[in-house]
Structure 1
């Protein structure tokens, strides 16, 4: 059994429990925020979705003592375009309470980073303050993906549709996803290669599609490589969580998109 299959098996159990729990509306959940699609289209520098990540199945503990609100405030001050909050507890040691704390602390878009397989997860994420939902193509069949994508967008949420191979990219394109995350990490082996972004980005012909490169991004050269492929955003977690100088790292990663060989601002 792969790690993804293990996670999804656990997630099905959690969904059944979640359906029994009342949805608690966070007072700040309806805080107005700019859409990521608009922001990321109208910028001349690489956009960063900065992730709050305590641990992962592949790396184990990263920073178990991290305070989500404090980390989010630092990210926003350093110039993050959005903040990703891992809310999976069993494998990543996060929670919806982390998301609520972040929503109370910052005014920028928040991505609920979880393995969403049911509408009830979307309802709870929105009530906690998420403005973006992650849908992983590998986690469900195309019919369920379309159902959840439509449901989330009708709730006024943005959707980051995540792919990691060619068939999944074809599914995301057919779906009409306006924001596609290319995961450089193989979800079955957890191996990472940035060439995945280059390979899959070449399949996207619609210039309106926002491409986000995810996983394995550590240096300015890494960012330049993803920009050349057509990404206008990167999702970075572990590198930021381990940094001793966040502002310096942000400055290094927020390269002019023109350096990547193309300008994304309109």
Structure 2
């Protein structure tokens, strides 16, 4: 029996074939974004504070539609105004109701580093990401063998794209070439049960070399969690659903950061 991940990968392969037939690489390379400069995701995430990648996504396979009122440009502007360090845009259509145009629209709206969040399987998607205005792409170890992951990372780098490499468990670290990878994300969500454990990222990061940008992903809901992760060496977090479900995602991001700051500071003595 195929898993949900198998189904997503199969659907993605069909999408790649269709898009390649509709828009060949030569046409993508004619995009003005393709030859423009890119913003460094690594630089954006190496901060004195806990960096935040704020995510734009309409739906997920486990939660269904998360944000019916979905205005990409407005969300991008809210995130920038709220101080997001980077923005992730879901472009996978079948299971997340994303679209490449969402990424292009975000690029036309803000000047923050943009991460294309999708199931990257083929170099065509890297060329497409560059043409859409992405600065970085997500590479998911669970769907890529070690050699394929290495080759896609190299191809992305040659195109000027940063890579956020995502793992779900310790076993997947065997697929990572740490001489190459600079940004590692750990997904706190169990792919089989969808349960979330914030400590999971810390358990995996304990086995990761120093100097790698550490990004905790999925299921983060409170400023207390953000402060906890920062105190344990996490450099950045990727937050999606918590922001997308808020009436005003920008205000929610500000509130999370303010709450995190209160938990970071030691208690102050009461004035006499």
Length-normalised TM-score, structure 1: 0.90
Deviation track 1:209-238 (CA, whole Å, cap 9, x = no partner) reads: 111110000101111232233211111111
CA distance in 2, matches of 1:209, 1:125: 24
Q: Which has the higher contact order (CA 8 A, sep 6+)?
A: 1
Pick from 225, 232, 252 the counterpart of residue 222 of structure 1: 225
CA distance in 1, matches of 2:113, 2:172: 25
Matches within 5 A, 1:35-74: 35-41=40-46, 43-74=47-78
Q: 1:222 to 1:230 in 2, by over 3 A?
A: same
Shift of 1:174: 3.9
Q: In structure 2, what is the equivalent of residue 147 of structure 1? A: 151
CA distance in 1, matches of 2:265, 2:13: 41
Q: 1:204 to 1:252 in 2, by over 3 A?
A: farther
Do the aligned residues in 2 keep the contact of 1:15 with 1:121 (CA within 8 Å)?
Answer: yes
Q: In structure 2, what is the equivalent of residue 168 of structure 1? A: 172
Q: In structure 2, what is the equivalent of residue 6 of structure 1? A: 7
Deviation track 1:122-164 (CA, whole Å, cap 9, x = no partner) reads: 1111100111010000011111111100000010100000001
Q: Answer yes or no: is 1:15 the counterpart of 2:20.
A: no
Q: Answer yes or no: is 1:96 the counterpart of 2:97.
A: no
- Range with greater deviation from structure 2 (96-105 or 191-200): 191-200
Q: In structure 1, what is the equivalent of residue 234 of structure 2? A: 231
- Give the 3-state SS of the residue equivalent to 1:20 in structure 2: helix
Superposition RMSD in Å: 2.2
Q: 1:10 to 1:245 in 2, by over 3 A?
A: closer
Shift of 1:196: 1.1
Pick from 79, 104, 112 the counterpart of residue 108 of structure 1: 112
Q: In structure 2, what is the equivalent of residue 80 of structure 1? A: 84
Do the aligned residues in 1 keep the contact of 2:217 with 2:237 (CA within 8 Å)?
Answer: yes
Shift of 1:167: 1.6
Q: Answer yes or no: is 1:193 the counterpart of 2:194.
A: no
- Give the 3-state SS of the residue equivalent to 2:93 in structure 1: coil
Do the aligned residues in 2 keep the contact of 1:172 with 1:180 (CA within 8 Å)?
Answer: no
Q: Which runs of 5+ in 2 are unaligned?
A: 267-272
Q: In structure 2, what is the equivalent of residue 264 of structure 1? A: none
Shift of 1:20: 1.1
Length-normalised TM-score, structure 2: 0.88
Q: In structure 1, what is the equivalent of residue 136 of structure 2? A: 132
Q: Answer yes or no: is 1:178 the counterpart of 2:182.
A: yes
Do the aligned residues in 2 keep the contact of 1:78 with 1:250 (CA within 8 Å)?
Answer: yes
Shift of 1:29: 5.6
